[in-house]
Amino acid sequence: MTAILDVTPAEAARALGEWLRARGDSAYRLNQLVPRLWQRPVARWADAAELPATLRAALDAEWPLGRLALAVRQESRDGTVKFLWRLFDGEAVESVLIPEGARRTLCISSQAGCPLRCTFCATGTMGLRRNLAAWEIAAQVRELLLLPERIKPTNVVFMGMGEPLLNWEAVGPALTMLNDPLGLEIGARHITVSTVGILPGLAALAKRPEQFRLAISLHAPTSATRRSLMPIEKKYPLAEVIAAAKRFKRRVTFEYVLIGGVNDRPEDAVALAKLAQETAAMVNLLPLHPGGAVPLERSPGRRMHAFAVALRKRGIEAVLRKSRGLDIDAACGQLRIASERREVAAEPHRDVHESPRIRRRAHRPHA
């Protein structure tokens, strides 16, 4: 039987409608069921008090609702909140909620781990454990609605663990779950997919009619520098990624982590400005967070500011982002790695090379 949260809201409505008809239930019941999937979610059907008890029991038996288990919640002094979700098979992924005024941005994961091994990223040090299912991606938002305070993000960014466009089979439906009026109803322009530049995935995203935003993790203005930071440059060279960005019909953002002595020189700013001019892209400049595979130095504050000024002088919209959540391991992968280290320390007889709670199985939703 189809897992009811792992299909688009329209498909779920059709499946539930057919099921209700087969049972002989009134057609209006469907209008009570569908909002409980995403719009006003319940942890289990038994909690939908507006439904008869017999129907709720049948729903829980036939159409159980998948959950992510909240393993760790950390709140930073700056308001950033990080969540570590435990999946059915013992894997774990992270989400980060970043409040700023009326804006509540949730950074979500699309893979457990990541295969790309970018030198500055903590997630890359763990390798790829597995792809997330579509419902596991969208459920990172759903779970916030199930918290006592019912947090509804205004914006969602695929900038957590993993490379979204290497999991397009699940990310595509998850985008629908996030955006659909029958789903979480987050505007397409408030949903950003971040990628290192996986060209087949970029082409698939470009075909979507919705106005989803695209962010490209650039991090270097030349192929040589990018190759030293991001091994994916060998497969998808910078020139081809920039060409794909030019073909994208919506505005593109370049994500650029400033690394001391590596990509923060005046000539780097000039080269980056040229790429941004070619693609009409804006630039997000990001301070380096600790935790990557290679020891790297954060660019000094004065140099970061000068880099931003150099871009703006060339007509580029450049935003120098503040570090958020440094006191709670808020960079991608840091909380999971810290959690695994604590688990290993608590189990002295474990082989130190064995990843905790990792069991290779085909993914499936759990009730």
260-288 pLDDT per residue, tens: 999 999 999 999 999 999 999 999 999 99
195 DSSP 8-state letter: E
Delimit the domains of the chain by residue range: 4-62, 76-341
Coil, strand or helix at 93? strand
CA 364, CA 347: separation in Å to the nearest integer? 28
Of residues 97 and 367, the one with the higher pLDDT is: 97
Query: What is the phi-psi region of residue 182: left when phi exceeds 0, alpha when psi lies from -120 to 50, beta otherwise?
Result: alpha
Inter-residue contact 220 to 226 (CB < 8 Å): yes
Per-residue model confidence (pLDDT) at position 325: 60
CA 326 and chain centroid, separation: 19
- Residue 215, C-beta contacts closer than 8 angstroms, at least 6 positions apart: 157, 159, 192, 193, 194, 195, 252, 253, 254, 255, 284
Provide the pLDDT for residue 349.
Answer: 45
Q: Rounded to an integer, what distance in angstroms lies between the CA atom of residue 234 and that of residue 228?
A: 10
Whether the pTM exceeds 0.95: the reply is no
Class of domain 76-341 (CATH, top level): alpha beta
The partner residues of 84 in beta bridges, in order of sequence, read: 72, 94
Task: Please provide residue 283's backbone torsions phi and psi, each rounded to the nearest 5 degrees.
Answer: -125, 125
| pLDDT over 90 at 239, yes or no | yes
Banded pLDDT at 122 (limits 50, 70, 90) = confident
Task: Give the catalytic positions in this structure.
Answer: 94, 332
Helical (H) or strand (E) element with 318: strand 318-320
**In whole angstroms, what is the distance from residue 118 CA to residue 124 CA?**
6
- Split at pLDDT 50, 70, 90, the class of 334 is low
| CB-CB neighbours of 90 under 10 Å | 14
